[in-house]
Structure 1
Amino acid sequence: MNTTDPAGEGSISSFPARVIVGLGGLYVTQSVIGGVVFTGLPAVMRQNGASLNDIAFILLTVLPWSFKFLWAPWVERYRSPRVGLRRSRTVIGLVGACAVGAVIACALIGPTSLGPLMVAMMIASFSSATLDIACDGHAVESLTEKNHGWANSAQVGGAYIGAAIGGGLFLVLIDHLGWTPSALIMAGVLVALALPFLTTPDGARSARPDAPRQSLMAALKRPEILSGIALISLYVLGQKWSSVLISPFLIDAGLSLTAIGVLNGVGVTVAGLIGAVSGGYVVRRFGAFPVMAASMAAQVLATVGFALYAYFGARSPIALVLLGLLSSGAISLGIVAVYSELMGRASLDQAGVDFTLFQSMDGIVSLIGWWLVSSFGDTLGFAFCFAACALLGIVALGALPILARRSSTLPGKADQRA
């Protein structure tokens, strides 16, 4: 794939370090917002007396991540036109400003005004999801194939660092400074993280002026995309549904916001980064599907552990920390494996659209599960919900070999990467 300006100017692949640093900052930025919504805000709401039903309501703000495939083709057509200069920096700057403004609005609204807070978080989530579309497309276009591994490392590593800031540091700051100053600090962090990208050259022309028009229909007509959608759905079913319960459960178990913040910001991040870094090696060594199976099995063990802890009413912070670390490491290892498999299914002509479709299905299935366990959590209890999630994980683990066999028969799954 030619990643330089055909006219000989504005070559971005000549500066891979600057591009990767800029992309890394953007991936961290998106995950800071996600960490605030998925981890930080549920813990703060629970401490303020919110029910799990209220937490399920606020989680509707992840809808833009679930349905961003609907506007991905339009974003990509504007950002990377077939003729003329790319507009990655323009898209990131404008959409990023909306995200920062939404976080500032959250700071002024406060965590107890559920309706206005949800509107502001929805804007932040929409902006973050749109940033991810542009960021993924820019990464594929701007780096040579030998540097794609660095982009994947920036994406996975950035996700855990951002989650550590949004779900860890944010909670520690709230415990000491309160909601408004802490949320304003998060807005400042977002600006600082985006600066490396916004100061990176963005003048390369389209590598293929004759490339087909990006569209969802082009993706959905390919069997490797449909099989990939089934795969990511199964992965989420086996890995992610219990994750939304962990922060509220830790609050009910007696941990402070500072303790949860340190766990999320240090322990979970380290475990996640270890899983992400080691994942690249073990996937090359053993293949994606065996690693996915191992990570699902580890997640089932962690979820069973949470269920037993809740059922017997244990009081062991060390056990909670170990279970949280096991869950985080398993999820990160699985993410590397499943997206390594999906990478070979995306067309280079519309990588931003194809990857967005996979990520949206990830978000849709996650949202369904998070809403279910949160809605029924108050009635059925943590022990039942964790146990139900573990059972679903076992079902997914049993179905994984079927998808593995079907995927091995797909014709030309990576033909477009030759």
Structure 2
Amino acid sequence: MDSQKIKTRLGRSLTDNALRRYITFSALYIAQGIPEGITFFAIPAWLAMNGKSPLEIAAFVGVIGIPWSFKILIAPLMDRFTFLAMGRKRPWVIFGQLGLIISFLCIGLVPNPLNNLSALMVAGFFISFFGAFQDVATDGMAVDVIPENEQARANGLMWGTKTIGISASLVVGTWLINTVGFSIAVSSLSITVATIMFFPIYFNERPGEKLMPWTPGAASPDSKQTQLKSWKHIFKCLYKVVSLKSSIIFGIGCFAVGIMFGLIDTLLPIFTIQELGWTNTSFSQVFSITTVVGGILGMVVGGYLVDFFGKLKMLTLYLGILTILITVFAFMPGIWGHNLVIYIFILSYYTLYTFLCIAVFASAMHLCWKTVAATQFTLYMALSNMGRASGAALLGVLKTNFSWEWVFLFIALMPLLMAIIVQFINFSKHRRTVESFVVLKQTLVAPAVIKD
């Protein structure tokens, strides 16, 4: 009892304090943004600057996107196995963060990376693997400890800080690559990731839990009640919730919009550098400034808009505007040479991207059943990331056979598709159905005491 009082007074429990939750998850999302900024933007821009073909660059992005596509294989492990005395997902967050630090150090050891793309892909793959690992654990922990009335606001902060992490790592990474060389540049980013390690180490999920395996503490009753103890129960619960109509529709929409994300993210460094004649420094500066603006707007008003107007209305609005934006841009090749037009396009797209991600994440959390939250939430994100990897790989094929105008028009079809199909989602009905599953869960969770 004394130990629990001390921990509560020191303010280490995420479930006890909203500000603590916002700060911790924002920091963890910055850590997610760093590997994405380097692998999906800085390195492709650097490769484009050094004359690599769109097919080679798309292949690199496609390979590093694979671990993000198969997060669904990781999530059930986290729902099934954990060290409950340290929390349901927190031990996995720490493991993923540690893997990110090591993998950033390893990519700096790749010899002659410009002429050794295979080794660069392998090293990038492992950065993505541990980034995806940390992402699954963080999202699962967020669904567990963030109350429903805070989810949209929290996602605004989380996605805003992730965008800032992507932008900052892109600018700093590009500058370091051009100044001190590739190896030192990417390895040095492990320092920032190591600093963020403080948050999952210092804060626990619930009062009374261990901070580390050797410190005092025990599993909380809430964790024991929620934790399932067999694969059969996990997959039975997962099937029960993802087979609902709204879950199926949302998953299809996530895949479609993921294709748009992958195409645009892979296209921009190639399009601006090889088609418009920019340098990788110019691209990183424009990208970072515009995405930081979008990220800040998302942090300030993104979550509020979803709370005020509702998830479905905001999803439809963002997807509709994105469809119009990309379509209009496709029909304006005559003014692509004006930098101001490109600045406006990138700023508009990434602002809408941030707002859309906030709405998508809040919607996904709302559709989740806490008993299998990590696996279910990750399933939605895995579908989006499968779309992202498919879009990245598809760009090389599209650009080889079509002009840029047709590539942009193809991209515009993706948000239009999602905007149409989300109209068939009924969030309220889905929530009521999930709440009725409590009876099922009580029959699956054994009454026996779970060992710490």
Is 1:127 equivalent to 2:130 in the alignment? yes
Is 1:173 equivalent to 2:168 in the alignment? no
Is 1:292 equivalent to 2:292 in the alignment? no
Give yes or no for contact 1:302–1:324 (8 Å, CA) kept in 2.
Answer: no
Bigger mean CA offset, 203-212 vs 58-67? 203-212
Is 1:348 equivalent to 2:370 in the alignment? yes
Give yes or no for contact 1:168–1:265 (8 Å, CA) kept in 2.
Answer: yes
Q: Distance in 2 between matches of 1:23 and 1:400?
A: 28
Alignment of 1:212-291 (within 5 A): 212-213=228-229, 215-222=234-241, 223=244, 224-237=246-259, 241-252=263-274, 253-291=276-314
Is 1:412 equivalent to 2:432 in the alignment? yes
What is the SS of the residue equivalent to 2:361?
helix
Q: Distance in 2 between matches of 1:142 and 1:391?
A: 36
> Under a length normalisation based on structure 1, what TM-score does the superposition of the two structures give?
0.87
Pair 152,351 (structure 1): closer, same or farther in 2 beyond 3 Å: same
Q: Report what 1:209 is aligned to.
A: 224
Q: Report what 2:45 is aligned to.
A: 43
Give yes or no for contact 1:300–1:394 (8 Å, CA) kept in 2.
Answer: yes
Give yes or no for contact 1:240–1:331 (8 Å, CA) kept in 2.
Answer: no
Q: Report what 1:312 is aligned to.
A: 334
Deviation at 1:44, TM superposition (A): 1.0
Deviation at 1:195, TM superposition (A): 2.2
**AA matched with 1:255:** W
What is the SS of the residue equivalent to 1:344?
helix
Bigger mean CA offset, 173-182 vs 43-52? 173-182
Alignment of 1:181-192 (within 5 A): 181-192=184-195
Q: Report what 2:444 is aligned to.
A: none
Q: Distance in 2 between matches of 1:187 and 1:378?
A: 37
Bigger mean CA offset, 34-43 vs 206-215? 206-215
Deviation at 1:5, TM superposition (A): 12
Alignment of 1:21-60 (within 5 A): 21-59=23-61, 60=63
What is the SS of the residue equivalent to 2:98?
helix
Give yes or no for contact 1:238–1:296 (8 Å, CA) kept in 2.
Answer: no
What is the SS of the residue equivalent to 2:67?
helix
Deviation at 1:37, TM superposition (A): 1.6
**AA matched with 2:138:** C
Alpha-carbon RMSD across the aligned residues, in angstroms, is 3.0
Deviation at 1:356, TM superposition (A): 0.9
Task: Please tell me whether Structure 1 or Structure 2 has the larger radius of gyration of its CA atoms.
Answer: 2
Unmatched runs of 5 consecutive residues or more in structure 2: 210-218, 439-452
Give yes or no for contact 2:155–2:303 (8 Å, CA) kept in 1.
Answer: no
Unmatched runs of 5 consecutive residues or more in structure 1: none
Q: Distance in 2 between matches of 1:326 and 1:259?
A: 18
Give yes or no for contact 1:19–1:197 (8 Å, CA) kept in 2.
Answer: no
Pair 194,385 (structure 1): closer, same or farther in 2 beyond 3 Å: same
What is the SS of the residue equivalent to 1:50?
coil
Deviation at 1:54, TM superposition (A): 0.9
Pair 351,262 (structure 1): closer, same or farther in 2 beyond 3 Å: same
Pair 318,411 (structure 1): closer, same or farther in 2 beyond 3 Å: closer
> Under a length normalisation based on structure 2, what TM-score does the superposition of the two structures give?
0.81
**AA matched with 1:28:** I
1:211-256 superposed Cα distances (whole Å, 9 cap, x missing partner): 3347244223221433331332344356654332112111121222
Instruction: Select 1:390's aligned residue among 407, 412, 416.
Output: 412
Pair 93,289 (structure 1): closer, same or farther in 2 beyond 3 Å: closer
Q: Report what 1:78 is aligned to.
A: 81
Give yes or no for contact 1:76–1:134 (8 Å, CA) kept in 2.
Answer: no
Is 1:157 equivalent to 2:160 in the alignment? yes
Q: Distance in 1 between matches of 2:270 and 2:203?
A: 40
What is the SS of the residue equivalent to 2:224?
coil
**AA matched with 2:123:** A
Q: Distance in 2 between matches of 1:5 and 1:378?
A: 67
Deviation at 1:120, TM superposition (A): 0.9
Instruction: Select 2:66's aligned residue among 63, 72, 80.
Output: 63
**AA matched with 1:220:** Y
Q: Distance in 2 between matches of 1:273 and 1:417?
A: 38
Deviation at 1:90, TM superposition (A): 4.0
Q: Report what 2:447 is aligned to.
A: none
Identical aligned residues as a percent: 20
Deviation at 1:61, TM superposition (A): 1.4
**AA matched with 2:130:** S
What is the SS of the residue equivalent to 1:358?
helix
